Every structure is written in C-alpha cells, then in structure tokens.
Structure 1
C-alpha cells in the first residue's frame, strides 16, 4: 500500500501544526519518523489516519483520497496510538480475537514476537503494564490484516530486546508488502532497521533520506534531535 500526502495542512482549532506536508511512502517500506517533542509527529500520524482532518491538501492510499477514519481503516490502515487503544475489560486473548481478520494468516507468529500473548493470555488488558499493553497493541495491528501500520511512540515502555524483535517483525511484514511508519525518540535502532528516515521540525518534514545514507553521517540526526 502506497501512502501519499499532497500539500497537507492540519492542526487543532485555529492552530496549524502541520504546514504543506508532501510525503510519499512506498509499499513494503519501514519508515521511521524522528524529531523532538512538540514538532508535529503525532499530529502527522493522526492526520494520515484521518483522526485529525486535513484543512487543505489530500491524504491518499493507493491513489484514493480519504477524509474519514473509518473509511481509511477499512482500506487497510491500522493506527497504534501512544495510549495503545486496547480494550481494558477484555483479556489479551479476547483483544486479539476481536482484532483478527477472518481467514487472514499474518506473515509472522505474533506469539513468538510478543511474550505477553502466551504469558498473559487470560489477563484483562487493563491489568497489564505499559510495556505489555504496547505488545498487545502492536500484535493487534499485525493480526488485523492491515496493509499499512502507523505506530506512535514505538519503543515507549518496551525492553530493548523487544524493540529489536518488533523491528525485525516489521521487516518480515515489509517482505509481505506491508508498510510500517513509526515514531520514535532514539535514532539508533531505526537507523539499523528502517529503509528511510524522516525528520520533523516545527510542523515540517526537514529530512527525508535513505537510512543507509544516514548511517555514515549520524550527526545529521543528532542535530535534529538536540533540544536547543
């Protein structure tokens, strides 16, 4: 699934957060979105998911423009917000069953990637730790049959070993044509596991480079993430 934003401006009320964003993400790519807090990363993901309405410009998947969250979700886009969005009164097993698309076999075994799936299967999601909820939310997106997954604050609450495992899972999904766009605060693992790195500053994309190119010049990312 290909994502394309054309001249997108969005925000909240009269305040614009994003200004004239142009962005294209190809099918099967793993793309990291980096930047300091307050630069517009979450608003960008919410705009792509049509949870924040673009004031101007278009958000398109495979050439079709969308303006409503329910329609873009049906088209194959899954959004994992920073509050994880799990159903707290349902068990881990029930959350997964509710999310799974009938007849769909994901290209990865989510129970192998996320220990919480087996270890806490009958525990209510509301009783999980923050990191466990993150595992469940990511697993739900991966069994849903989505063709594009957006993840806000990707590594928040995850142990380093799990961060690595999830990024490896994203690469496996990419080989099946599933696109992942994720927000993170640290550039280290994204550089090793992503195809592209996007950098945001003051509501604009100021960096869009292949990750391989930035590995030889990590200072460019460091400058983007330094708090002035």
Structure 2
C-alpha cells in the first residue's frame, strides 16, 4: 500500500517552473532514495510534500488523502516528520526542550531516543547552539522521530558531518528500516544510500528520469544523472 504517492507534480517559484510532472511513491515500511544533482528539484519536491511550496498541478497523496497545497502544520499532523537540510534545531532551547516541543504520543519516547543516540542524554540540558554539528544532526533526527511520523523525510542528513558521525546516522537509518519506518531520504553518499534503499527515484531538471531498484541504477545511469 502506498503511504506517499506523487503524480504529475508541477511546482513553480513565481513564474519559474521547477518541477515538470514529477512522479514518486513510498510504500509503507519502505526506504526510498530521492536522487539527482544539485538544483534538479529534490528540495522543491520535498517542499511541495510538506506544504512549503504550493504545487500548481498534480497530486500528492498521503495515505490516500490529497495534501497538495495543504498548510504545513496540517501535513505534519497527518504524520510527516522532516529532518531539514542544515538541521535547523531551535538554538535557544535545550536538547530536552527541542525533543518535547513537538512530540506526539507513540512508540518513540525520550527513553528510546536516548537508546538510539546516547550522546543526547549526556547533553540533555545544553542549548542546541552549543552542540557540535554532528550532535545537532542527531537532535534533528530525534526531534522528527519524537513526532512519531508515518513518513520520515531526511534531506541531506549526513552532509558535512565527520565520518564517525555519518556512520552513526546511517546506523540509525538502518535500524529504522529494520523496524519498518517509512523513509524518504535525499543523500549524495551512494555507497551508504543504495544498500539501504528499496527503490530509487532520480530527478533531472525537475523531471523523474529514473525509478527502480538500486541494482537497476547502473554505473552508466549514475554517471549520466548523478556524476559531477
């Protein structure tokens, strides 16, 4: 069953069209990779899903409900949790305050977060702006999980992090996958992304140019659509 289904999505910034009929699907319990070079429409697609960009045409269905153009807070309440590019933790709130600010009842509790990222428990009373970049990323992932989302969206969750922290984040993603969490993930680290993904969608100039299993994304296709 599809948790998220995007069909024929067209989005604009003013008069400039950014997406041209994008199609994408995330099934329940599936990890889907959204891929493409910089500027090809990945962030606009995510923005359209979460309500920050209002689509002009097409459909975005979450558990069968069309959410295209809906207000972001309403989409979040329907079960979408976002880990945004650049982390965007609340700088003047403590780790604990960040985690409980938007928390909703469910399987993800403070105790489970502390098990997933023990370092956050050690930093419980520190302000977010005093954390390292890696710790802030752990906090951003945890804050999204505390909303107990049906769909978790990770936008460049490992970008710019030290290798050891990247491994911690990927280990968390693999654990979430094993537990059946539905995830839409954008990341450039193909060596980590492809093994965890069930399916891949590649964007090129605002269009879906590939959809399929990771093993179908050949070296030629990677060079054509993902190479520098």
- The secondary structure found in structure 2 opposite 1:19 is coil
For the 8 Å contact 1:195–1:212, the answer to whether it is kept is no
The match for 1:182 among 156, 178, 185 is 185
Matched residues in 2 for 1:120 and 1:218: separation?
Answer: 43
Aligned-pair CA distance for 1:38:
0.9
Determine helix, strand or coil for the equivalent of 2:18.
strand
TM-score, structure 2 normalization: 0.89
Aligned-pair distance for 1:27? 0.8
Deviating more after overlay: 154-163 vs 93-102: 154-163
- Verify the 8 A CA contact 1:82 1:152 in the aligned structure 2: yes
**Among 70, 75, 88, which residue is 1:72 paired with?**
75
The CA deviation string for residues 58-106 of structure 1, in whole angstroms up to 9 with x for no partner, is 111011011221111110001221132321111111111223323x222
Matched, 1:105 2:107: yes
SS at match of 2:40: coil
What SS is found at the alignment partner of 1:83?
coil
1:48 aligns with 2:62: no
Query: What residue is the counterpart of 2:148 in the other structure?
Result: 145
Q: SS of 2:24's equivalent?
A: strand
Gaps of 5+ in 1: none
Give secondary structure in 2 for the equivalent of 1:46.
helix
Runs of 4 or more consecutive aligned structure 1 residues displaced over 4 Å after TM superposition: none
Distance 2:114 2:12 in 1: 37
Secondary structure at the aligned position of 1:2 is classed as: strand
Measure, in 1, the Cα distance between the counterparts of 2:117 and 2:13.
Answer: 35
State yes or no: 1:224 paired with 2:192: no
RMSD value, Cα: 2.1
1:20, distance to aligned residue in structure 2 (A)? 0.9
Q: Contact 2:6/2:60 (CA < 8 Å) preserved in 1?
A: yes
**Cα offset for 1:118?**
2.2
Per-residue CA deviation, residues 110-134 of structure 1 (Å, 9 max, x unaligned), is: 3243344123221101222322211
- Structure 2, unaligned runs of 5 or more: none
Contact 1:30 1:171 in 2 (8 A): no
Matched, 1:37 2:42: no
Q: What pairs up with 1:92-131 in 2 under 5 angstroms?
A: 92-102=95-105, 104-106=106-108, 109-131=112-134
Q: Does 1:59 align with 2:42?
A: no
1:138-167, CA deviations, whole angstroms, 9 ceiling, x for partnerless residues? 011112111101111121133334333333
Find out whether 1:17 has 2:22 as its counterpart. Answer: no
- Paired residues of 1:113 and 1:166 also in contact (CA < 8 A): no
